[in-house]
Amino acid sequence: MADALWRLRSRGCWQEAADLLRPQAGRDPSAALTRAELLIEQCLFTADHWERAEDALRQAEAGVAGVEHRAAAACARGFLAYVASVLGRRDRLDEAQAALGRTSALLPPGAPGRPLLDFRRGLVAENLLHDPGAAWIAYRRAHDAAQRRGDGLLCSYTARHLAGLALEDGDRERAREGFRTSLRLREELGFTVGVAPALASLAEVSEPGEAARLRAEASRLVHALGGVPVWLARRLHTGPAADAPPDGLGVEDARGAIS
């Protein structure tokens, strides 16, 4: 099941992956939470299907059993509120902060869910609170913990966002290193749906000829995946100077934590 979920998710087939989990979701809190996270990630990449994600998350919240599941459900709630705010559906900053705060209160230091929580708090700090200092601290903490745990997918996200902050600070070399690391990890993991954003980010700090090649490769990949991420498809169509909403981690590595 974990391998099947990963193959579908990595190709942007979130609904199909969620359908695989539907029979289990009514009786297994972990399956219900995984299903909700998959559909939240679908919202992130498509800027659509919000009701599906909300319904799945409410089901997961209703079936939580124990502190670990309550923390995971709260973390998912905070991420959904973040995604809705970033993609302009409506401002849910207060909800995002409250939910991630509940997650932090429930998780002891060193808990497996802490790195993902720290990353999502970094997203809120960077993109909703516009506090790059707080974002850097949260991303750095998440990145170090993900490296210790061997979580390559989370590392690909933290490296990407740390690189983005470095670029804003004028450090193009550190940004280039981080974007290359993110791209390499996503290619090694086979996280196909996440490769195009990594290519586009690396293009921002590459020489003109290489940048054009990277954007062309990203465009081909987005087209092959049916136009996702939608915000990157718009950006590549309108030109490299256009801003796009940042991505964020939606589900832990499907070959491990969500099985």
DSSP string for residues in 1-58: -HHHHHHHHHTT-HHHHHHHHHHHHTT-HHHHHHHHHHHHHHHHHHS--HHHHHHHHH
What's the token pair of residue 105? 């209160």
- Quick one: CA dihedral 170, 248, 258, 10, positive or negative? negative
Measured from the Cβ of residue 190, the count of other Cβ atoms closer than 10 Å reads 13
Q: Which CATH number fits domain 2-238: 1.25.40.10, 3.30.70.20, 3.30.70.980, 3.40.50.300?
A: 1.25.40.10
Q: What is the pLDDT of residue 24?
A: 94
Can you give the pLDDT at residue 248? 54
Please give the pLDDT value at position 236.
87
Do 71 and 60 contact (CB within 8 A), yes or no? Answer: no
Q: Give the predicted TM-score (pTM) of the model.
A: 0.91
Domain extent listing, the chain: 2-238
Do the beta carbons of residue 201 and residue 251 sit within 8 Å? Answer: no
pLDDT of residue 247: 54
Task: Report residue 66: phi and psi, to 5°.
Answer: 100, 165
Give the mean pLDDT per block of 10 residues along the chain (259 residues): 95 97 94 98 96 97 93 98 90 97 95 97 97 98 97 98 97 97 98 97 97 96 95 75 47 30
Q: Tell me what pLDDT residue 5 has.
A: 97
Q: Would you say 160 and 201 are in contact if contact means Cβ atoms under 8 Å apart?
A: yes
pLDDT score at 237: 75
